[in-house]
Amino acid sequence: MHLLKKYKLGILGAAFGALLGFLYYYFVGCSTGTCAITSSPINSTAYGALMGGLAFTSLKNEK
């Protein structure tokens, strides 16, 4: 439970980023199928989760 509290922002950011990544794939996507990130829902969701996690953990205020 302590780890969940410690990494709360990172987990929240990863979930938010994954959602945005999937929505980007669904609504914008890649019409040709040759795009590295947006040609697959798995790739765009994973990339969104990674970017969201990194973005939210950078907001963490160290004491």
Among 43, 40, 24, CA closest to 32: 40
33 class by beta-carbon count within 10 Å (0-12 exposed, 13-18 middle, 19+ buried): exposed
pTM of the model: 0.85
Among 56, 51, 26, CA closest to 40: 26
Domain spans in the chain, listed from the N-terminal domain onward: 2-57
pLDDT in tens, 11-58: 999 999 999 999 999 999 888 878 988 889 999 999 999 999 999 999
Quote the longest CA-to-CA distance of the chain.
48
